[in-house]
C-alpha cells in the first residue's frame, strides 16, 4: 500500500497530535509482523515522551530521548489516531496509548509491516544505513541517477524501485513517473541518456508532490491518520489503466509483468 506519499501523509497526520505526548503503555496483540515485535516494547516506551515524528523512505521514525521507534507500513498497513478506549478491530496489531487518552493504532492485514526499536543513532540502523537518497532532496539528481545506472542492464523501472538507489518510489509512482518522462519501463537503465534522466527526476518529484497534496493514493484500503482515504487514484495516468486510452495520445495503455510486479505504459508515448 504505502509508498512515500502515503507514509508522508501519515507522518503529517499524526505529528501534531503525538509530539510532546507521553506513551503510557504499548499493547501488542499480534507480535508476528515482518520481524517479531520486541516483547519488552511496552517497558521500553512507558513513561517516555515522543519528541519527533520523522520519515526515512517509507519508514516512520518516532523519536524518543533514549532511542527511535521504526514503523514500516508494509503493503497493507495504516496508522491511525483513535480514542484509547475504542475496541480494536481485526488486524489492529499494536496500540500506543498516550497520556491524553488517545491511542496510535497500527492496522496491517498482511503483516508485512514492522515495529522495531533502536537505541543507537537511527541512521546507523542496518535497515536504514544503505538506503539511497530521498527523492525530494537535492541529492536525487539526474547526474546521480545516471551514474548509478551506468553499466546496469536492469529495467529502469526496477532501478527506480530499488531503495538502495532512491527511497520511497514504489510500484504505482514508478509507473506514473516513467509515463510522465516518456520512458519505457523495460528500457535498460544503462541505456538512457543524461537528458532523459533530467526528465525522470523531475517526473518523480512532481508525481510524489502531487500525491502528497492529494493525501496519497487509495486503491483498496489505505487511510490516513484520520481514517480518510487518499484521493490521488483519480489522477493516475497509467497505473491500473490497462486498455484504457492514454490521456495524452488515446492509444490503449498496455500491461506488462516485470519481476512479480505489474507495469503499465503507453506504447506510443514511452520509448
Binding site for DNA (CB under 7 A): 1-3, 6, 32, 34, 57-59, 72, 74-76, 90-91, 109-112, 127, 152-155, 158, 161, 163, 170-172, 216-222, 230, 257, 259-262
Compare residues 66 and 257 and give the one whose CB is closer to DNA.
257
Vertex 6: Cα angle to 188 and 122 (nearest 5): 85
Q: Contact 167/134 with Cβ under 8 angstroms?
A: yes
Compare residues 142 and 154 and give the one whose CB is closer to DNA.
154
Compare residues 112 and 117 and give the one whose CB is closer to DNA.
112
Q: What count of other Cβ atoms lies within 10 Å of the Cβ of residue 216?
A: 27
Q: Contact 28/109 with Cβ under 8 angstroms?
A: no
Residue 75 CB, nearest approach to DNA (Å): 4
Compare residues 96 and 264 and give the one whose CB is closer to DNA.
264
**Residues belonging to the active site:** 2-3, 58, 261
Residue 253 CB, nearest approach to DNA (Å): 13
Residue 46 CB, nearest approach to DNA (Å): 28
Residue 120 CB, nearest approach to DNA (Å): 17
Q: Contact 227/215 with Cβ under 8 angstroms?
A: no
Amino acid at each position: 500500500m504505502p509508498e512515500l506519499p502515503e507514509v508522508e501523509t501519515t507522518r503529517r497526520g499524526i505529528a501534531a497530535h503525538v509530539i510532546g505526548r507521553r506513551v503510557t503503555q504499548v499493547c501488542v496483540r499480534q507480535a508476528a509482523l515482518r520481524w517479531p515485535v520486541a516483547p519488552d516494547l511496552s517497558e521500553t516506551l512507558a513513561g517516555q515522551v515522543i519528541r519527533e515524528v520523522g520519515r526515512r523512505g517509507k519508514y516512520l521514525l518516532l523519536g524518543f530521548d533514549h532511542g527511535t521507534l521504526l514503523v514500516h507500513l508494509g503493503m497493507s498497513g495504516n496508522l491511525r489516531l483513535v480514542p484509547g478506549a475504542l475496541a480494536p478491530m481485526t488486524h489492529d496489531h499494536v496500540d500506543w496509548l498516550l497520556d491524553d487518552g488517545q491511542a496510535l493504532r497500527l492496522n496491517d492485514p498482511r503483516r508485512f509491516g514492522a515495529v522495531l526499536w533502536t537505541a543507537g543513532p537511527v541512521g546507523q540502523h542496518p535497515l536504514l544505513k544503505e538506503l539511497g537518497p530521498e527523492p525530494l532532496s537535492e541529492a536525487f539528481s539526474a547526474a546521480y541517477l545516471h551514474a548509478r545506472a551506468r553499466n546496469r542492464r536492469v529495467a529502469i523501472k526496477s532501478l527506480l524501485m530499488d531503495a538502495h538507489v532512491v527511497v520511497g518510489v514504489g510500484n504505482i509512482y514508478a509507473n506514473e513517473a516513467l509515463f510522465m518522462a516518456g520512458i519505457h519501463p523495460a528500457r535498460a537503465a544503462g541505456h538512457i541518456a543524461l537528458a532523459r534522466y533530467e526528465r525522470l527526476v523531475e517526473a518523480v518529484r512532481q508525481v510524489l508532490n502531487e500525491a502528497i497534496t492529494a493525501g496519497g493514493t487509495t486503491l483498496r484500503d489505505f487511510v490516513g491518520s484520520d481514517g480518510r482515504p487518499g484521493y490521488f487514484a483519480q489522477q493516475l495516468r497509467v497505473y491500473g489503466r490497462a486498455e484504457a486510452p492514454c490521456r495524452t495520445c488515446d492509444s490503449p495503455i498496455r500491461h506488462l509483468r516485470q519481476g512479480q510486479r505489474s507495469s503499465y505504459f503507453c506504447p506510443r508515448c514511452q520509448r
